[in-house]
Amino acid sequence: MSFPRNLIFVAVWVASITTVVSPYITLAQDLKRPPREPVDVAESTQGVVVSDTKAASEIGSSLLAKGGNAVDAAIGVAFALEVTWPEAGNIGGGGFMLVAPPDEEVMCINYREKAPANVDPHSFSEWTQHRHIRMAGVPGTVRGMALAHEKYGKLPWAEIIAPSIALARDGIEVDAYLAYSLNSVLTLGYIQSEPRFAEFRRVYGKPDGSLWKAGDRLVQPDLAKSLSLIAEQGSQVFYEGEIAQQIAKESEAGGGLMALKDLKQYTAQVRPAMHAKIGDYTLYGAPLPSSGGTVVLMQMQMLQALDFPKDTQQYWTTKQVHLMTEVMRRAFRERAAWLGDSDFVSVPDHLQSKAFAEKLAATIDPNQATPSEAIAGSIALSEGPAESMETTHFSVIDKDGMAVSNTYTLEGTFGCRIVVKGTGILLNNEMGDFNWYPGTTNRDGDIGTLPNQLAPGKRMLSSQSPMIVREDGQVKLIVGSPGGRTIINTVTEILVQTLMLGRSLEDAIDGPRFHHQWFPDTIRFETVDEGVFDNIRPELKAMGHDAEDRTVWRQGSAHGIVVNLDTGEAKGVADWRRGGAARAPVSVTSP
Ligand code: DON
């Protein structure tokens, strides 16, 4: 008797799950998320650090206590998150660091990944695997941190990295969030079965093969060795030395695009931050290749041009969500039309202007949704699908008012999930941020426009939106978030809640969020909305918004700092969504 082929397949699959990976009978979807906690708050006149983990915020605040400035602390936090929040904290990815030294111009360190030399616009047109070393862009974090240190740092480089080496070597206490995050990936069938993830399983799997629990220890000896090399030899060991060789070897063996010469040629840049005036505030954001600064500032300038209702009786009103959705729709359309790496494409200056924001705002109907198709303009919309699609933000201020707003990422949770053998270093899968399908922009949200198509050495467009706000030349607010394209809207919503509606930073970070990105033409609400969106959804529907589908559990994880300019006291607020922590060198308080 012969079995049907699909039954044999199922039998082999069940056998492989139960024999190869028996400790992981739990499936990723059965894991329980840690319960919701209040936002974490720390206040001080001696500086504050807010990040996704307690250990990283504590390392940052101890560097401040040692006399380091905000940039020293930020570099320390970046290396500490690599050890303590590996789903997004990284040295194998890239990002953007805004630095506001007192009385000086706000600058951005651009350490976004670059495409390797071996690409053309169609390199990914037929590609489907997002967890593959081919997805890795040339990492920028180590060069970015070295550049920030060279330009602004006070403490010795090795001293800043030392606490992270100790954490990796001696082990960290796994908390509920890290346990959830690790288990979510380790229980995936392909991670358990495919040989290319063996190093991931070895490095991040619990030695006895069981699921991680809060209180367990994760020891990362290979990473401790890599961090020691970086501390002793500087960034060049990562780009030209021993670590570079190991990355290039891994890439070649795994079918990746990155070669040793791509690493050798990688450069980070320092550029002035973008800025716009909103009322009494000057808002600073990251320039291209992040779309974050351009789009957040465009949205805020549009809202300023509108008669935006200042009603605070409920957290979001129908009218506020309507107007903000219309603003998001229009700004994301401009993003798709124009934005890419400005070292490769010329981007029109008018996108930053108040006049252009006013012109766009004037097209908004106060009572009716505009269908996204109606504003496509010169972007031809295709039928059918193109592609299917973690990041972490931290904010730092020191006792002298120097501020850092840093967002960096591996793109997906744990990036491409390839750990370079023997190094403990995870690589990003940032190549997915390029427009993979030239000419194909569709209603699902895939973008195929020219500015963000692949080219050798080009940086992929980002949505990372680290922000710094000054009032009368002094730092008032620092904020940013992870969340892919939702980052832009998370940050805009926090700016609206604090600067326009006068809410506390605690309330603005705690409160429910929503997202619209032109296409798909629907508002996505957080499901943890405490009824706020349920109440206004029928009215939004009546205005023509598709506002019911595609709810998400959470949107981002925003860590911010607000300064009382009268007393000089800074208050750090860490988002509850991923269990973040605010820490200060002295006088820590919790709500
Ligand atoms: O730079 C970007 O736009 C994305 N690669 C960010 C990815 C992200 O935020 C995923 N995290 N939740």
557 CA → ligand 1 middle, Å: 12
Q: Are residues 324 and 471 in the same domain?
A: yes
Cβ atoms of 331 and 516 closer than 8 Å = no
Are 276 and 206 members of one domain?
A: no
Co-location of 185 and 299 in the same domain: no
Q: Is 391 among the catalytic positions?
A: yes
Q: Say if 418 falls within a structural domain.
A: no
User: pLDDT (tens digit, 0 to 9) for every residue of the chain, 591 residues total?
Assistant: 333 334 433 443 443 433 344 445 677 777 888 989 999 999 999 999 999 999 999 999 999 999 999 999 999 999 999 999 999 999 999 999 999 999 999 999 999 999 999 999 999 999 999 999 999 999 999 999 999 999 999 999 999 999 999 999 999 999 999 999 999 999 999 999 999 999 999 999 999 999 999 999 999 999 999 999 999 999 999 999 999 999 999 999 999 999 999 999 999 999 999 999 999 999 999 999 999 999 999 999 999 999 899 999 999 999 999 999 999 999 999 999 999 999 999 999 999 999 999 999 999 999 999 999 999 999 999 876 554 447 999 999 999 999 999 999 999 999 999 999 999 999 999 999 999 999 999 999 999 999 999 999 999 999 999 999 999 999 999 999 999 999 999 999 999 999 999 999 999 999 999 999 999 999 999 987 778 888 899 999 999 999 864 467 789 999 999 999 999 999 999 999 999 999 999 744 444
Residues 277 and 374 in one domain: yes
Do 498 and 362 reside in the same domain of the chain?
A: yes
- Alpha-carbon distance of 321 to 325, in angstroms, equals 6
- Say if CB 359 and CB 301 are below 8 A apart: no
* Domain match, 214 and 277 both: no
Q: Which conformational region is residue 103 in: left (phi greater than 0), alpha (psi within -120 to 50 degrees), or beta?
A: left
Q: Name the residue at shortest CA distance from atom 5 of ligand 1.
A: 411
Ligand 1 binding pocket includes 464 (Cβ within 6 Å) = yes
Distance 432 CA to ligand 1 centre (A): 10
63/57 Cα distance (integer angstroms): 10
Q: Is 490 in the pocket of ligand 1 (CB under 6 A)?
A: no
CA distance readout (Å), 283 to 273, 286, 468: 9, 10, 6
Q: Based on the number of CB atoms within 10 Å of its own CB, is 142 exposed (0-12), middle (13-18) or buried (19 or more)? A: buried
pLDDT reported for residue 21: 44
Is residue 484 left, alpha or beta, with left meaning phi > 0 and alpha meaning psi from -120 to 50? left
Residue 15 confidence (pLDDT): 39
**pLDDT of 551:** 62
Q: Is residue 214 located within the same domain as residue 344?
A: no
In a domain, 196, yes or no: yes
Q: Residue 8 domain-assigned?
A: no
**For residue 291, is it within any domain?**
yes
SS3 letters across 404-420: EEEEEECCCCCCCCCEE
Among 81, 391, 435, 555, residue to substitute to test ligand 1 (most atoms within 8 Å of Cβ): 391
DSSP characters for 345-400?
S---GGGG-HHHHHHHHTT--SSSPPPGGGG-TTSPEESS------EEEEEEEETT
- Provide the number of structural domains found in the chain: 2
Residue nearest to atom 11 of ligand 1 (CA): 390
| Backbone phi and psi for residue 468, each to the nearest 5 degrees, phi listed first | -130, 135
CATH code (residue 510): 1.10.246.130
Q: Which domain holds residue 194?
A: 173-218
For residue 498, give the DSSP letter.
I
Residue 307 domain-assigned?
Answer: yes
Is residue 373 assigned to a domain?
Answer: yes
| 382: in domain | yes
CA nearest ligand 1 atom 12, residue: 483
Degrees, nearest 5: CA angle 214-220-223: 140
Is the shortest distance between the CB of 113 and ligand 1 below 6 Å?
A: no
Which one is catalytic: 325, 391, 407, 498? 391
Q: Is residue 390 in contact with ligand 1, taking CB distance under 6 Å? A: yes
Tokens in use for 147? 């550049």
Burial class (CB in 10 A: 0-12, 13-18, 19+), 50: buried
Give the pair of three-digit tokens for residue 481: 């978030």
Q: Residue 372's pLDDT is what?
A: 98
For residues 287 and 361, state if they share a domain. yes
The set of long-range contacts for 201-210, using a CB threshold of 8 Å and a minimum separation of 24, is 202/419, 203/419, 203/424, 204/86, 204/414, 204/419, 208/23, 209/22, 209/23, 209/24, 210/23
- 180 in the same domain as 325: no
Are residue 302 and residue 182 in the same domain, yes or no? Answer: no
Bridge partners of residue 391, in order along the sequence: 409
Specify whether 199 is located in the same domain as 278. Answer: no
The pLDDT score that the predictor gives to residue 1 is 30
Residue where the block lists tokens 């350490």: 111
| Protein residue with its CA nearest to atom 1 in ligand 1 | 462
Axis-axis angle for helices 221-233, 157-170 (nearest 10): 170
178 and 308: one domain?
no
* Distance from chain centroid for Cα 533: 25
Neighbours of 535 (CB within 10 A): 15
Ligand 1 close to Cβ of residue 163 (< 6 A): no
The residue from 218, 234, 253 where one domain ends is: 218
Residue 2's pLDDT is what?
34
Ligand 1 center from residue 390 Cα (angstroms): 6
